[in-house]
Amino acid sequence: MWVKKNMTIYQTYILAFIVENKPGVLYKISNMFRRRSFNIESLTVGPTENEDFARMTITVKGNENMMEQLTKQTNKLMEVIKVTVLNKKNTVMREIALIKIFTVDSKTRSDIIQYVDIFRGHIIDVSPESLIVEMTGESNKIDAFIELSRPFGIKELARTGVTALKRGIGENKK
Amino acid sequence: MVKMTGAEAIVEMLKRQKVKHIFGIPGGATLDLYDVLYNSGLRIILARHEQGAAHMADGYARISGIPGVCTATSGPGGTNLVTGIATAYMDSSPVIALTGQVNSQAVNSSYLIGRDAFQEADIIGITMPITKQNFQVKKAKEIPSVFKEAFYIASTGRLGPVVIDLPKNTQKESAEMDFSSPVKIRGYNPIYIPDPVQIRRAVELLCNAERPIMLAGGGVIASNASHEAVKLAEAILMPITTTLMGKGVIPENHSLSLGLLGMHGTIVANKLLHETDVLLNVGARFSDRTTGTLDDFCPDAKIIHIDIDAAEIGKNFKVDLSIVADAKRTLIEICKQITQKMIRKERSVWFDRIQQFKERYKDLLIKEGGLKPPKLMVELRKLVPNNTIVATGVGQCQMWAALYFKAVEPRTFITSGGLGTMGFGLPAALGAKVARPDVPVINIDGDGSFRMTEQELATSVLEDIPVIVIILNNSMLGMVAQWQRLFYGRRYASSELKDSPDFVKLAEAYGVNGVRVGSVKEFVNAVKEGLNNDVTTVIDVPISPEEDVWPMVPAGAGLRDVIWSAEKKK
Ligand SMILES: Cc1ncc(C[n+]2csc(CCOP(=O)(O)OP(=O)(O)O)c2C)c(N)n1
Ligand SMILES: [Mg+2]
């Protein structure tokens, strides 16, 4: 059987990379994604506990075959120390969103405050016509809050993309 | 620790890596390097175009099995190398390319990199997707470790080209150099040793097969495993078909050789592949030109894939068993474990069928009369010794050479397989001749391909590197014309080369021998003379512009639908 790209249903995968913390690595990895037609949905990057390494968390849509190719191709890059496809069951995932919402009257303002409360977010800035909500959590929670806020009118939105860690001990470098 | 300039450290490192030749063209950003090369004892070979320099280094590497080195100045020098580097990358050839770069640090208050300085090009960014790795040296003192890593990477695991970008100031400045530091690259650990469990499973499959076939690719040649491949084939009566890159793994006159597989493979290989029940792919990557449509690619076979690059497993084709390891070590292990009594299936039926097939289609397409390329290739084979090296252009000429010039030893046939780079032939032949001055080197070229790098005839004269150039001159971009003839109603859009110069006069203008032949007999004589000449000989062979390459698997068809005349085209 040959590998048909659309053989299985697409889903979102979260990949964790430990890479060398030096210039050009992000370009190299994203360039490889582009060249092999993998589409990055979100990407976060920052140093690890060891400053020689950086951690990149990338979410991509695809199927199992594509993930296999993707991990093999990225593993081939010499700056990549380790690649793991995270299993959502034993992974903690977080994303932060900053959402600026219109507050035309005091009714909407109090409605929003209530929703923020229920979602355990924070209001971090208030001005006469708008406020900024900080929402942290798994991406689907953020999606839900955004949907809820849409009727009020979202003025601006910034999302960090997912960052993630495997639960418990593990994650030893190669 | 020794104090020296960056340029001196580069040359010291080249010597430590046993480099003896460097192909290139100098420029402003490599003046310091060239100044040290000048009386270094290394042979500096001046190319006439950086693409030629890269192909020379590539040809040298493919023949010798060790890295070939080329160099170019910053900006256009580097960008001219690009086609050559991409060619080496696609065919996994260990080329080291040294590029000059503008100053990376203040030199007399001129800090230039990133400011669009004169002749600045981002060669690191440009070559990232076509190199195995690339480096930009930031400080002179990094040179020993960067060079060590570069040569290590190029020549281990799956071989491939590496670029080292050398800002001018890093060549000029002096530093304390440490030549003793060991190479350590945390993210690079090529695997050579096969997994014993997988070996056992492979042995099992092979022993139970009724109609096994081995598909041998460039990986077998790269790992010097041709002998082991043939030994295994003979032990279990398994015929071998090769990719273009694997040509030479098995002597093509061997009873177990099926010849080339794929779009322009042999009738025998393409038809028999469909019948196999176990396909052992060693060091080939299931490229589209080799497999035809994947829907019809050995549908009933269990497939074993041996490759040193884990990313090749499952990339194009899902296989039943994979072994990520060095081809030679894997084949040795498999051979060790197979004993005659383990072979449970009767193989003589299969062997007889293969011989019948080979007999049926033998010489079918080798026509007498006039200057027919297949016939010329057969004649050429008779004329030259077994160790003769053939390099090729790209197009029909390449396919005629691959199909009808039988290779009998590994590393005697080099061609741009993956990228299909016209212009590869002549400079690659020169690089090959530098690697093996003791054997004849012949470039089988097309009139179109030849003209892309013909200026390297000057290199052959000045540097005293004699080769034979055979131009199969159809006054056409023949392969393009063949497709237009077969599939585009003979509309020869831009494929006629009516303006071709007189190649005999052109050769003479460069100071090499030029001869035009009008018959097979004259061709034979011209080659004989070329073999005895100590300067390059260009043989212009006028052939019909209408000649097609057969056999052919039309695009989108399966291999067994191979056709061998235009009438059979559906
Ligand atoms: C650099 C480059 N440009 C274009 C092509 C497309 N191409 C493939 S074969 C071919 C014709 C080659 O003509 P020639 O060298 O005369 O060989 P022939 O097919 O006539 O034997 C062309 C243009 C290519 N492979 N490489
Ligand atoms: Mg031609």
Q: How far is A66 from chain B (nearest CA, A)?
A: 9
For residue B313, the chain A residues in CB contact (below 8 A) are 72
Confidence of residue B517 (pLDDT cuts 50, 70, 90): very high
User: Is A21 buried (19+), middle (13-18) or exposed (0-12) by CB count in 10 A?
Assistant: middle
Does residue B79 sit in the same domain as residue B162? yes
Residues B242 and B343 in one domain: yes
Cα–Cα dist B281/B272, whole Å: 15
CB A45 within 8 A of CB A55: yes
Asked if B185 and A78 come within 8 Å (Cβ–Cβ), the reply is yes
State the pLDDT confidence band at A5, using cuts at 50, 70 and 90. very low
Task: Judge whether B565 lies within some domain.
Answer: no
In the listed set B299, B334, B360, which residue is the last one of a domain according to the structure?
A: B360
pLDDT-derived band at B498, boundaries 50, 70, 90: confident
Separation of alpha carbons B504 and B346, rounded Å: 57
What do you get for the CA distance between the two ends of chain A, in Å?
33
A125-149 mean pLDDT: 95
How far is the C-alpha of B522 from the C-alpha of B517, rounded, in Å?
5
**Record: contact A76-B311, CB cut-off 8 A:** yes
> How confident is the prediction for chain A on average, in pLDDT?
90
Q: Is the pLDDT of residue A2 over 60?
A: no
Is B176 labeled as catalytic in the residue annotation? no
* Contact in structure between B360 and B507 (CB atoms under 8 Å): no
Q: What is the mean pLDDT of residues B79-98?
A: 98
pLDDT of amino acid A92? 95
Which superfamily does A92-163 belong to?
A: ACT-like. Chain A, domain 2 (3.30.70.1150)
pLDDT of residue B105: 79
User: What value does the mean pLDDT of chain B take?
Assistant: 96
Give the pLDDT band (50/70/90) at residue B329.
very high
Other beta carbons less than 10 A from residue B340's beta carbon: 7
pLDDT of residue B430: 98
Digit-coded pLDDT (tens) for B448-465: 999 999 999 999 999 999
Query: Is the pLDDT at B562 greater than 90, yes or no?
Result: yes
Q: Does B187 touch chain A (CB under 8 A)?
A: yes
Residue B260 CB partners (closer than 8 Å, separation 6+):
B241, B242, B243, B244, B247, B266, B269, B402, B403
Same domain, B442 and B514: yes
- Domain match, B208 and B149 both: no
B522 is catalytic: no
User: Which amino acids bring their CB within 6 angstroms of ligand 1?
Assistant: B 393-397, 420-422, 446-449, 472, 474, 476-480
Cα B472 to Cα B449: distance, rounded to the nearest angstrom: 10
Residue B296 lies in a domain: yes
Indicate the domain borders of chain A.
2-86, 92-163
E strands along B376-490, which residues? 389-392, 413-414, 441-446, 468-473
pLDDT, tens only, B235-265? 999 999 999 999 999 999 999 999 999 999 9
* Averaged pLDDT for residues B39-49: 98
Q: Give the pLDDT confidence of B145-192 residue by residue, as tens digits.
A: 999 999 999 999 999 999 999 999 999 999 999 999 899 899 999 999
Provide the CATH number for the domain around residue B240.
3.40.50.1220
Reference B473, options B525, B538, B378; nearest CA is B538
Q: Is residue B345 predicted with pLDDT exceeding 80?
A: no
The tally of domains found in chain B comes to 3
CB neighbours of A37 closer than 8 A, spacing ≥ 6? none
Q: What is the structure's pLDDT at A1?
A: 39
Residues B163 and B248 in one domain: no
C-alpha closest to that of B264 among B248, B247, B279, B250: B247
Q: Which pLDDT belongs to residue A34?
A: 92
User: How much is the pTM?
Assistant: 0.95
User: Which superfamily does CATH assign the domain made up of A2-86 to?
Assistant: ACT domain (3.30.70.260)
Can you tell me the mean pLDDT for B83-98? 98
Residue B317 predicted with pLDDT over 60: yes
Q: Could you tell me the pLDDT band of residue B570, with boundaries at 50, 70 and 90?
A: very low
The pLDDT assigned to A7 comes to 56
Pairing of strands B257-260, B240-242: parallel
The radius of gyration computed from the CA coordinates of chain A, to the nearest angstrom, equals 19
B109: pLDDT strictly greater than 70: no
Average pLDDT over residues B362-377: 93
Stretch B319-340: mean pLDDT: 95
End residue of a domain, out of B301, B335, B360: B360
Residue B106: pLDDT over 80 = no
Report the half-sphere exposure of A68 (CA within 13 A, side-chain side): 14
pLDDT of residue A9: 75
Give the three-state DSSP class for B311: helix
Mutation target vs B (from A4, A76, A77, A80; most B CBs, 10 A cutoff): A76
Res A172 pLDDT > 60: no
What mean pLDDT do residues B371-397 have?
A: 98
Measured CA distances, B105 to B34, B61, B109, B121, B372 (Å): 21, 34, 9, 16, 60
Residue A170: its pLDDT value, please? 59
pLDDT at position B12 over 90: yes
Residues 327-386 of B with CB under 8 A from A: none
Interface pTM (ipTM) of the complex? 0.88
Q: Which own/partner contact pairs does A105-113 have at CB distance under 8 Å and 24+ positions apart? A: A108/A152, A111/A152, A112/A149, A112/A152
Q: Which domain holds residue B480?
A: 373-549
Residues B48 and B128 reside in one and the same domain: yes
Share of chain B above pLDDT 90, in %: 92
Q: Does A79 touch chain B (CB under 8 A)?
A: yes
pLDDT of A174 above 50: no
Report yes or no: B287 and B217 within 8 Å, Cβ to Cβ. no
* Parallel/antiparallel/unpaired status of strands A130-137 and A91-102: antiparallel
Residue B441: which CATH number?
3.40.50.970
Q: Where residue B499 falls among pLDDT bands split at 50, 70, 90?
A: confident
From B109-118, B215-224, B532-541, the region with the lowest mean pLDDT: B109-118
